[in-house]
Amino acid sequence: MKKLGLVFGLIFLFFPCLSFASVSGEINSSSTYYNVGGKTENSFYEPESLEYLWEMFFNLEEEIFGNWRLRSSLDLRATDDRLVDPQDFSMERFFVEFSNRGSSFTLGDFAVNFSSFTVNNSLKGLKTSFDFGENLKFTAVAGANFYLWEDLCEERTDDTQLRQYIGGLRLEQTLGSIGNLGLNFGILDDDDSFVSSYSDPQRTTVVSLDTRLNLFRDLNIEAEFAISWYDKNTDSKDTPRKTDHGLRFLADYRIGRFFFRGGFEREGSNFSSVGGFTTQDFEEFFQEIEIDLFKDSRLRLTYRQNRDNLDKHKATTTRQRSPGINLTFKPFR
């Protein structure tokens, strides 16, 4: 009942705009017949069943209050096919965005990518950004990473997915036509009430400086240095907060038929990112060369080398070297 109330409440936020906005929509309907043989008692399907699926997509866009633009989107799904969705009715996506030339406000679903080591997530919450002049931009986000809007009303059970609250700030300076420089802050906090009995609530705070540069037209550089403060168990005062750093550097360069790409990445044994796409205690170096042999053929040579045990606290160190070769050609064109 709480879930339905939440869904209809969000729908009512969407539909009052229809009287003055440009609206588009799409409805997809399908049915699937299942015939289950063998030991049917092991299946959650009936021996014979016909399952339905309805998907509805609504979008609106309109200029309001002079130079402001309103955009909104609502995706709904109704089904009794458990292979598609464990719930009969769900709201897949919802957002409302107000924007003008120098600022924007988004409420609902949004994706944010500050940097690899800080905030790099899909969230449900609030996002806002402001431009200060032509070259300086400030962005702030706050939200949670649960899957569906109905999960806001979900009660804690043994199989409940972990819920995390994420916030972040980014100040980005554009460096003319050659690239940008960004200062990032991110924080991730586990919801204690949604942590399983087999794990502990954790908190991660990360600060990083990153840059993306395009030099001499054909040379691209991307780099980031980050420091994290990682609390492995926020419920225990005896567990110390650990600090470590992460570093990554990527570069590519094209000259004639040759394309060179290389990089280095290092995450300390106690380093933790907000986005969660990094590996602790890991260091890797890679390089790649692509050669355009003929009009429709390409040769690629690669080499990767990585290792762990960066702080020498483990009894053994794992090292891996991976050379590779790839030939691509199109004989028929």
Angle, CA of 132, 274 and 74, to the nearest 5°: 70
For the stretch 277-330, pLDDT in tens is 778 889 999 999 999 988 789 999 999 999 998 888 888 889 999 999 999 988
In order of 18, 72, 108, 140, the CA distances from 68 in angstroms are 17, 13, 18, 20
If you search the block for the tokens 């070769």, which residue do you land on?
A: 325
Triad 96, 190, 208: Cα angle to 5° = 75
Q: How far is CA 267 from CA 206, 227, 256, 286, in A?
A: 13, 10, 35, 15
User: Rounded to an integer, what distance in angstroms lies between the CA atom of residue 301 and that of residue 169?
Assistant: 39
pLDDT number for residue 150:
75
What pLDDT score does 222 carry? 97
The predicted pLDDT at position 167 comes to 96
In the predicted model, residues of the chain with pLDDT beneath 70 are 1-21, 44-45, 154-161, 194-198, 235, 333
pLDDT tens readout for residues 208-247: 999 999 998 899 999 999 999 988 777 677 778 899 999 9
Distance CA 151, CA 94 (A): 14
159: tokens are: 């199989």
319-329 and 68-79: which strand pairing? unpaired
Model pTM score: 0.82
How far is it, in rounded angstroms, from Cα 248 to Cα 70?
A: 38
